[in-house]
Structures are given as C-alpha cells and as structure tokens.
Amino acid sequence: MTVEGIYQTAKARGLVRSRREFSRDFLGRAPNYAADTALRRCSAAALLTPYRRLGEVRQVDLQAMAFARLLDAEARDHRARNVDR
C-alpha cells in the first residue's frame, strides 16, 4: 500500500478528515505537505512520524504499511546518496 492508500484508509476509518489534517497529525508536517507532494515521495523522516502515530492510535495494520514505506524510502535515500558520490 502506498502512502496515499494509508491516507485513504485513515480517512475511511475516521482518523482524519483531509490531507491537511493527515499532513499535520500523522506526518508531523505543515498542513500543505500532503497536497504539495501528493504523497508520492515522502521522505524517510516524514514516514517515521506516521509509523509512530499509527501505533499510538492502535492501527497496527496501517502502522505495518507505514513501516514498509519507511524502509522503501530509506533504501531510496541510500541509493541516491551513493549515486551522488
């Protein structure tokens, strides 16, 4: 599941009402973050917050999905750092 899918599921479960709320409450970012990135390429740092927050609200299935996206972002960031060398 993508970050967009996590957002859509959180919205369907009534955890958030909008991308702005998801950005602020689950990503720990500015309210416009999800709209600006369209949730396509969230950084690893941005994904750590929803991983923690989803655990706090006992949404372990979404937390596991956020963790998978976190690992993907970490690998992507690592590859990007190695290409720049």
User: How much is the pLDDT for 85?
Assistant: 58
Mean pLDDT of 36-55: 81
Binned at pLDDT 50, 70 and 90, residue 53 comes out as: very high
Q: pTM of this prediction?
A: 0.78
- Provide CB contacts within 8 A for 49, sequence distance 6+: 26, 27, 28, 29
The CA distance from 21 to 19, in Å, is 5
pLDDT in tens, 7-39: 999 999 999 999 999 999 998 888 888 777 667
